Structure 1
Amino acid sequence: MTRTIITGTLIAALMAGTASADTLREALVSAYHTNPTLTAQRESLKASDANVAIARAAGRPQVSVTGGLNRDLSRSGILDTGGDATLSVGADLNVPLFTGGRVKNSVRGAKTRVEAGRGTLRAVEGDVFTEAVSAYMDVIRDRAVVELNQNNVRVLTTNLEATQDRFQIGDLTRTDVAQSEARLQQGRARLAVAQGNLTSSEAVYRRVIGHPPGTLAPPPPLPPLPKSEDEAVRIALTDNPDLFAAQRLATAAGYDVRVAEAGRLPTVSGVVSGTWVDELNGTFGNGSAAQGSQTTAGLSTTVPIFQGGLIGGRVRQAQALQGQAFEQVVGTERAVVAATRAAFANYYATERAIQAQTVAVQANELALEGVRAEQSVGTRTVLDVLDAEQELLNAQVLLVTAKRDQYVAGFQLLNAMGQAEAQDLGLDGGPLYDPLANYRRVAGSWNDWATDPIHAPAATRTVSPQEMPATPILTPDLVPMSNDPSLPTPAIITPLGPTGLPSSSTLPAPAPSTSTTGVTQPRR
């Protein structure tokens, strides 16, 4: 129930946006459909789906036909029947009746790995969305920082001009001019660094989302988050997809042990075969027609007695891999707990930092105003004014950074709790990928001639025509160009003011939903 409330709140928040700007929701929709990490993971899950059909095939009837045309080079004595060529055709039907549990446990293991693959796909979705949110917020933050530094350079330029004018009339000294000049050059250096950071953030946005950022709207408020670390951890241990995938892989490893143990047991198969032979241009010794046929039916049993330690080695190997999977479950659980606690701590720490930096910005604004007034009457120096301006800039940048960090940490917490996937976000950029559709299509297939068309990448490229070299490694006939080859350049930065990012809403605590994450032993 609480998960439904959280999901509904997040969907409603993402639905809100600015009509004239790109929204976070639109960025997530683009990442969902075009991010190559996510689209590749879907193909990986399809490969796991096919393993179920492969495992089932080992328990199904096998039919084969053989044929031969043989010509004798020489015959003599009683072997000379007058013919010199033989045509033979045979057919065999083999039906596995008992395999010691090998097929049954192979199918169960394949199905369990499909479940693990679905969990991994959920985890990759959450990770890609978290990366997309981080890229989105980085661009907003860095654009705000560039704007703040541009404004600072303008202020410092005005200060330098005023200082030089006052130096000309003898009101200030050359030292004051040098201090103003130094501070302006430092401001220009900070602006250059900020612009470089912005270019880097826009490149990451382009990689993750699939196109350059335009004018970005402020993100919507985050949904309610837990109020305590323990509650957040409980939710994560219930819903985290990485932990679910690790648990299913450990269960599948148990089935692998049963498959290895089946090598010690007898196998029984039903066998039906037929053979037809025609000795061309000849007769058998009794003068009958040189043709014949034979059909047989029976049971074939193989009882392993001694295999040189092969089966014991395979069983021990499977048991060791099962032990590794159990250890990895614990390791994954540790990682989930650590990630949840870290995201929770970062979120609420940045919330307190936002409150403190907001006060700091207000205080520095007042201080700068006072220092300027005092400098005008001669009780403060030019250096005092420059220091006050720098303190205000630093506080504004820290506030913008804290708001970005809080939003990203909040989304990381949602991801750690397993609540940052496509179905939680309610993306409306077309139907969501259904992993069950491909499974139903391929898992029970009996057709040896079944195949799929050559895969065309669903992920879009981010290379513009201007960037394409004359002889690229990846040619368009191998990997198609982006659906949007124009790749528009980033729009003009929308002024965000000194605070840059909106703060999140008050966050009540959700309760965990129900699912099974314990490691279960497979049945024999």
Structure 2
Amino acid sequence: MMKRTGLAAAAIVASLLSASMTKAETLADALTSAYNNSGLLEQNQALLRAADEDVAQAVAATLPVVDWSLQANRTWNNSQPSGDFAVVNSRTLQFNAAMTLYDFGANAFAIESQKEIVLSTRQTLRGIEQDVLLNAVQAYVNVLRDREFVELRQNNVRLITQELRAAQDRFDVGEVTRTDVALAEARLASARSQLASAEGTLAISIEGFRVAVGRAPGTVSAVSPAPVSRSLADARAFAVRNNPSVLEVQHSVAAAELGIRRAEAALGPRVSLNSFVATDQDSNETVQLGVNVGQTIYSGGALTSQIRQLKANRDSARAGLHLTVLSVEQAVTNAFASLQVARAARQASNEQIRASRVAFQGVREEATLGARTTLDVLDAEQELLDAETNLISAQADEVFASYQLLSAMGLLTADHLNLPVQQYDPSVYYNLAKDSPELLSPQGQALERVLEAIGRE
């Protein structure tokens, strides 16, 4: 039953790998595919474009608003002496224009606040990019590690099978007892069970790779840790200045400050210009131009309450910035420590493998001379297997910790890694939309072409 289970697991893994083992797979290939296939990146790019439009709408509030209306009326009047209804038809075409002339800077503060929100959203997108790439690194390392685990377990099964045959041969000639054969059989059954478990874990990792990268993995190759030469103090200081989470909250605090100034400016008077041109059915024209000055005297305390609310939100954002800095520093420290531990574990595992291999070969030779038992050989082989397993895990941990440290420092981006991808430039759409262009203007037409191109991707 155990052998059939192992064969079934092997068949599952083989079916998952068969379509993708035809070409070599590097980490750069995986990161490139993850960037190009990420729906999460596309989602947040769209959210950034929506934030850009908030700037356009804030700018539009400072520009003239022009509209038109056409009114047609028919009036029946029975005030005639004869009692008949007098029918009067009237048509009026009117153009209206209005523009805020002065508002104590409220609209200007609104524009600057929206700009800070755009900058904050850009950092959110940058953080999402790092998450996408770090997930791809994790998926790649998992497949690489679990594939090596499967190969190691397969070699272990073959080796113990050889030991079982040797024990059986020595038993047949009376050199060992039945106990030695049973020990080898039990160890072989355990090795087959561990192989089936490793194959199942590899199948899970392959599916995780498909989700993170957008396709099945090819033949993954060994990868070196990312170059990280900074000391812990330098890494922490750099992360506080460059991590997108910190920069995102900094812009949020700035936006909150500007929101307070906008609300305070709204307490002052407002000056606006209004005009209209009207033409009736007799081609009589009416032109009016006026200036309106107004100010809210009493609003039940709503405006002052809004200011207090905005200040509370500002204070919350400031506290959030402090917590974010602490979180980023902790992330850098944790990643740096994990990297150091993984490096030490790798070096120790290499030494352990060297010593365990010498010990295993010696015990095996001594067993052929009758100086060691089958159990001694199996134990020595298990120690060598454990050492090789520890090395594989340490290598995988070291690679992931190095990229985790890059992410904490804000450097795990397509630009920093020089990935061959078409990077999303947030300034292109913003520069087209920020001045609130009309649909028929050159900028408006360019925006439509950009959106059409995005929709076709």
Displacement, 1:369?
1.1
Aligned position for 1:335:
327
Report the alpha carbon displacement of residue 169 of structure 1 after superposing the two structures with TM. Answer: 3.3
SS at 1:268 equivalent = strand
AA in 1 matched with 2:147: R
Rounded Cα–Cα distance in structure 1 between residues aligned with 2:228 and 2:408:
15
User: Which residue number in structure 2 is paired with residue 408 of structure 1?
Assistant: 400
Output aligned runs, 1:446-465, within 5 Å: 446-447=437-438, 450=444, 451=448, 452-453=451-452, 456=455, 458=457
Cα shift at 1:260: 2.1
SS of the aligned residue for 1:83 comes to strand
Root-mean-square deviation (CA, aligned residues, Å) is 2.2
Matched, 1:267 2:258: no
Counterpart residue number, 1:509: none
Report if aligned partners of 1:115, 1:248 keep a CA contact under 8 Å in 2: yes
Distance 1:437 1:146 in 2: 48
CA contact (8 A) 2:225 2:400 kept: no
Distance in structure 1 (CA, Å) of the matches to 2:84 and 2:274: 34
Percent identity, please: 36
Within the candidate set 404, 424, 427, 1:436 is matched to: 427
Which deviates more, 446-455 or 200-209? 446-455
Shift of 1:413: 0.9
Checking the alignment, whether the CA contact within 8 Å between 2:57 and 2:436 is kept in structure 1 is no
Q: Distance in 1 between matches of 2:267 and 2:302?
A: 10
Distance in 2 between the 1:399 and 1:80 partners? 107
Separation in 2, partners of 1:253, 1:190: 57
Are 2:151 and 1:147 aligned?
Answer: yes
Give the SS at the match of 1:71: strand
1:311 aligns with 2:315: no
- Equivalent-residue separation in structure 2 for 1:160 and 1:366 (angstroms): 21
Question: Structure 2: 5+ residue runs without aligned partners?
Answer: 1-21
Give the C-alpha shift of residue 276 in structure 1: 2.5
* Structure 1 equivalent of residue 129 of structure 2: 125
Q: Does 1:345 align with 2:359?
A: no
Counterpart contact for 1:253–1:318, Cα < 8 Å: yes
Counterpart selection for 1:109 from 101, 105, 113 = 113
Deviations 1:61-97 (CA, angstroms, capped at 9, x unpaired) = 0011112122225442599994333212221110111
Q: Is residue 241 of structure 2 the alignment partner of residue 241 of structure 1? A: no
Q: What is the identity, as a one-letter code, of the residue corresponding to 2:272?
A: S
Instruction: Please name the residue that 1:397 is paired with.
Output: 389
Query: Is residue 228–residue 402 contact of structure 2 (8 Å, CA) maintained in 1?
Result: no
- State yes or no: 1:216 paired with 2:220: yes
Q: Which has the larger helix fraction?
A: 2
In the alignment, structure 1 segments of 5+ residues that lack a partner are 1-18, 279-289, 459-524
Instruction: Say whether residues 1:70 and 2:73 are aligned partners.
Output: yes
- Compute the displacement of 1:165 (Å): 3.1
> How many pairs align?
427
Aligned to 1:490: none
Between 214-223 and 176-185, report the one with greater CA deviation.
214-223
Q: Give the TM-score of the pair, scaled to structure 1.
A: 0.77
Match of 2:234 in 1: 231
Are positions 1:445 and 2:436 aligned together? yes
Contact 1:33–1:39 (8 Å) recurs in 2: no
* Distance in 1 between residues matched to 2:350 and 2:453, nearest whole Å: 56
Q: Equivalents in 1 of 2:89, 2:175: separation in Å?
A: 121
Residue 53 (structure 1) aligns with: 56
Question: Over residues 366-423 of structure 1, what are the superposed CA-to-partner deviations in whole Å (9 max), with x where a residue is unaligned?
Answer: 1111221222222322112111111111110110110110111111111211222121
> In the alignment, does 2:91 pair up with 1:91?
no
Equivalent residues in 2 for 1:295-310 (5 A)?
Answer: 295-310=287-302
2:361 is aligned to 369
SS in 2 for 1:119: helix
Letter in 1 for 2:214: G
Displacement of 1:453: 3.0
> Structure 2 vs 1, CA of residues 75 and 223 (structure 1 numbering), >3 Å: closer, same or farther?
farther
Is residue 335–residue 404 contact of structure 2 (8 Å, CA) maintained in 1?
A: yes
Counterpart position of 1:471: none
Counterpart residue number, 2:12? none
Aligned positions of 1:351-362 closer than 5 A: 351-362=343-354
| Structure 1 runs, 4 residues or longer, greater than 4 Å off | 77-81, 448-451
Between 71-80 and 297-306, the greater mean CA deviation after superposition: 71-80
8 Å contact kept, 2:77–2:87: no
The whole-number CA distance in structure 1 between the counterparts of 2:415 and 2:253 is: 26
Displacement of 1:433 in angstroms is 2.0
Distance 1:292 1:76, change over 3 A: farther
Q: Quick one: distance in 2 between partners of 1:97 and 1:321?
A: 30
Pick the aligned partner of 1:31 from 10, 34, 40.
Answer: 34
Determine the C-alpha separation between the residues in 2 that align with 1:356 and 1:84: 102
Per-residue deviation at 1:320? 1.6
Partners of 1:222 and 1:407 within 8 A in 2: yes
Q: Structure 1: how far apart are the matches of 2:415 and 2:157?
A: 46
Q: Does 1:176 align with 2:168?
A: no
Moved more, 440-449 or 179-188: 440-449
The Cα shift of 1:116 comes to 1.4
> Does the alignment pair 1:186 with 2:190?
yes
Structure 1 equivalent of residue 418 of structure 2: 426
Change over 3 Å in CA distance of 1:384–1:73 after alignment to 2: farther
